[in-house]
Amino acid sequence: MKYKDIISKMTLDEKASLMSGKDFWQTQNIDRLGIDSMFLADGPTGLRKQAAAADHLGLNPSIPATCFPTAATVANSWNEELGELIGKTLGEEAVAQKVNVLLGPGVNMKRNPLCGRNFEYFSEDPYLAGKLGAAYIRGIQSQGVAACVKHFCANNQEERRMSIDTIVDERTLREIYLTAFEIAVKEGKTRSVMSSYNKLNGYYTNENIHLMRDILRDEWGFDGCVITDWGGSNDRVAGLCAGNELEMPTTAGETNQEIIQAVKAGRIKEEELDECVDRLLDLIFVTGEVYRRPHKSVLDEEEHHMIARKAAEESIVLLKNENNILPLEQCDKVAVIGDFARKARYQGAGSSIVNPTILENALDCLEASGIENIGFEPGYDRYGKTNRAQILKACSLAEKADVILLYLGLDEVTEAEGLDRQNMKLPKNQTDLLNALYDVSPNIVVILSCGSAIEMPWINKAKAVLHGYLGGQAGAGAMVSVLTGRVNPSGKLAETYSIDYEGTPSYHHFPGKEVSVEYRESIFIGYRYYDTADISVLFPFGYGLSYTTFAYSDIQVTADNVTFKVRNTGNMPGAEVTQLYVGCKSDAIFRPKKELKGFAKVTLTPNETKTITIPFDDKTFRYFNVKTNQWEIEEAEYDIMIGASSADIRLTGSIDLKGSKAPLPYDRNSLPSYYTGKVSRVTDLEFTNLLGHDIPGSKWDRSKPLDYNDTISQCQYAKGWVARFAFHAINFAYWFLRKIGKRSTANIIPMSIYHMPFRGIARMTGGVVNMPMLDGILLIVNGQFFKGVRHLLREKNRLKKQKAVFSTTDSGVSNRRFDTHEKD
């Protein structure tokens, strides 16, 4: 241990006190031993350090900071250097605001396009997500503060995220849902990891020994600190035994006492607690070092704004450009239509909300560009309400223009932490507007602002489509730069766009509505499914157009790398994202037709040629063998493919590998769907064969009393009439708030109330409600009204007395507030 001397001077109370927060954002301090508090803040779209009341859903404003494009946006740049630059800038702002730990990046997979937090994640591909995540981490940590990669792991839906059980086979877990985290740990060398809310195969992730110890600590060699998501602790001692050091936010000492009692009872050895304390101390002291020397406290906001602009420019994807309508000519008269042009949609909602230092809008940026804008009309209500008069005004303006710039997208309350989207469609009032404008003029350029994939049945009515995703505070100016040709678009999609939602592989198993969610599609998510099952898509993974063209040639494959040439065959400078895919020719083990195993972005002037080398690494040919329980290489011939997208392979080569001689992991006859890749309707028997055990029950047992890990939504069938009444009152409040147009307020209900487990009431209230009081609430919920009220009031008074006693003592250890609670 690094800090054995300090730990030897600590009391058991003091050790336990360090294991949970002092308040909502800070860790505990012990002044007599020189142990300072750390401050943790949300990110990484930008720093969200709150100056006033604390919350975890972005409901209160934070100190101004640069709002960068979201991870889903920057992923389209395919540029690790850019990711590192963003990370470095975030690190500088963290230091200026005296933040020790920046809570990001998020590297969860985009298993399903409706996940409400997809805007905060990079990709459907673990290799791309891992490489970009590691780049962010290196940049953040270069400034002396810590990154915290999240949410570890298999957290791919927002509905019931605090209690859902993710059922996934071991191979899929390793190859798809853990690889990005592995890269973040090994290559990014992240100093901290945030455990996710959900269960994984029956165990909460922060209590999962296989995940936390066998893989994270022993296999990957992670020696940093694991932090719970806010309110994400279930059994505090079980989490500590698994190596989850820091619980956030504070429980006002309640769980500290649980740790002390567990040590005294022998449930956990004090030496194990010491190891957890040592890792936390390392994070405190390492991130505190930057504040013990001179550092910037005032930053150049304009410089950081221009970095955000560069990030947005490189991430814009040109999806369609019929008859080269773009870039715009200076003589073009344009009509700007769409509410997002006036008030940009530039970031997601929830814990990543940033209070930007500067905020651009398209109208101002167009005026500065020299393009002749003949006028603006909003065209639609931002939140979906039909308004025929707005459409008529927009059409009247469009009649006078050469080109219509039509700004469309999803609103702020559709994509948000805590709830999933209901469908993949644009609001109907926006598509109605597009249809009406098409009757006036065919020269429509659609500019999209949304953080995730959408259906586009209307695309034939647009001559061009530019997707800016959520471009941050400088996104509007970046888009104008692309529209005018000052910047040649070079973004490529980091996720597949299916033709419709029904065609996605997880359509029948998303989201998990009750106990669990089953990942029946196994390794076949995103392009791995569409390419293998030969399913047509709207836009493939890795797709993106340019204002110039590129030619590929001269592929050479060696044992260590693939080399090839790329030439700019157009008349405009541009950048091309070249992509390495690998496919195994053997069919002895089911595998995707191709998988991304490398990429390189190259900038070329007209007629310039460059030679690109993409090295092979330890992930290029591996697969996880469930019989040997380790990574193996299959003896086979492998296709080496260089593409402009997963569906546009320009060059091919091959290589023969001897492999690791591992036994075959599967009985082919028991897994027919997986061997064809057609996994949209996997049977119970086949999924059981894949898992290697029976499928756990997925439905609530309504005959049992509700307990700590049941959700407030389950009050609908509670025995207590008070609970059922509360459930219907909550439902009515949600309906009523939406009805009167208060959608942001309405969303607070599913985000922070409806799907919260009862234990969350205690975990998220900082000691206002403790577990003994929660026992009283559960008695009321389960039909013992008077007994529950008595218990609740008794425990409330007891808590009040303990706080009064504590406030008169001299003790600096907050966990003395609580004794073990008694149950009736």
Q: What tens digit of pLDDT does each residue of 314-327 get?
A: 999 999 999 999 99
Cβ-count burial 142-156 (b if 16+ within 10 Å, e if not): ebbbbbbbbbbbbbb
Residue 288, classified by CB atoms within 10 Å of its CB into exposed (0-12), middle (13-18) or buried (19+), is middle
pLDDT greater than 70 at residue 91: yes
Q: Taking 80 as the threshold, does the pLDDT of residue 807 lie above it?
A: no
Residue 609 pLDDT greater than 50, yes or no? yes
The pLDDT-based confidence of 52 (bands split at 50, 70, 90) is low
pLDDT in tens, 643-696: 999 999 999 999 999 999 999 999 999 999 999 999 999 999 999 999 999 999
Can you tell me the mean pLDDT for 783-787? 95
Q: What percent of the chain has pLDDT over 90?
A: 88
Q: pLDDT tens digits, residue range 143-188? A: 999 999 999 999 999 999 999 999 999 999 999 999 999 999 999 9
Q: How far is CA 51 from the centre of its chain?
A: 25
Q: What angle do CA 244, 75, 220 make, to 5 degrees?
A: 30
Please, are residues 228 and 2 in contact by the beta-carbon 8 Å criterion? Answer: no
Could you count the other beta carbons within 10 Å of the beta carbon of residue 502?
11
Is 302-516's fold the same as 548-664's?
no
**Short-list 226, 167, 219, 237, CA closest to 191:** 226
pLDDT at position 54: 61
Strands (E), 76-211: 101-103, 146-152, 165-167, 192-195, 199-200, 203-204
Q: Do 384 and 428 meet the contact criterion of CB atoms below 8 Å apart?
A: yes
Domains in the chain: boundaries: 1-32+220-292, 302-516, 548-664, 712-817
Active site residue 707: no
Is the model's pLDDT at 60 over the cut of 60? yes
- CA gap 349, 411 in Å, rounded: 10
Q: Which of 229, 278, 710, 775 is catalytic?
A: 229
Q: What's the pLDDT tens digit per position in 715-748?
A: 999 999 999 999 999 999 999 998 888 888 888 8
Question: Which of 726, 594, 706 is closest to 647 using CA atoms?
Answer: 594
Band (816; pLDDT cuts 50, 70, 90): very low
Helix, strand, coil percentages in the chain from 3-state DSSP, rounded to 5: 35, 20, 45
- pLDDT higher than threshold 90 for residue 293: no
**Arithmetic mean of pLDDT, 288-303:** 89
Mean pLDDT within 109-125: 97
pLDDT digits (tens, 9 = 90+) for 231-276: 999 999 999 999 999 999 999 899 999 999 999 999 999 999 999 9
Q: How far is residue 313's CA from residue 310's CA, in Å, rounded to a whole number?
A: 5
User: What pLDDT score does 413 carry?
Assistant: 87
pLDDT band at 823 (very low <50, low <70, confident <90, very high): very low
Q: What CATH number labels 548-664? A: 2.60.40.10
Q: Give the strand order in the sheet containing 101-103.
A: 40-42, 101-103, 146-152, 192-195, 225-228
Q: Quick one: pLDDT band at residue 57, thresholds 50, 70, 90?
A: low
- Is 218 a residue whose pLDDT tops 70? yes
User: Across all residues in the chain, what is the average pLDDT?
Assistant: 94
Half-sphere exposure of 245 (CA within 13 A, CB side): 25
Contacts of 766 (CB under 8 A, 6+ apart): 23, 24, 249, 250, 251, 252
Task: Tell me whether strands 464-467 and 444-449 are parallel, antiparallel or unpaired.
Answer: parallel
Q: Which residue has the higher pLDDT, 141 or 808?
A: 141
Residue 59 has pLDDT above 80, yes or no: no
Sign of CA dihedral 427, 431, 432, 437: positive
Q: Which of 221-225, 529-533, 672-676, 794-798 has the lowest mean pLDDT?
A: 794-798
pLDDT band at 813 (very low <50, low <70, confident <90, very high): very low
Q: Please compute the mean of the pLDDT values over residues 563-569 and round it to a whole number.
A: 98
Residue 567: CA count within 13 A, CB half-sphere:
7
pLDDT at 806: 60
Residues 569-586: tens digit of each pLDDT: 999 999 999 999 999 999
302-516 has CATH 3.40.50.1700 classification: yes
What global pTM score does this model have?
0.95
pLDDT of residue 43: 85
Q: How confident is the model at residue 58 (pLDDT cuts 50, 70, 90)?
A: low
In this predicted structure, the answer to whether residue 817 has a pLDDT above a threshold of 60 is no
Would you list the DSSP string of 264-289? HHTSS-HHHHHHHHHHHHHHHHHHHG
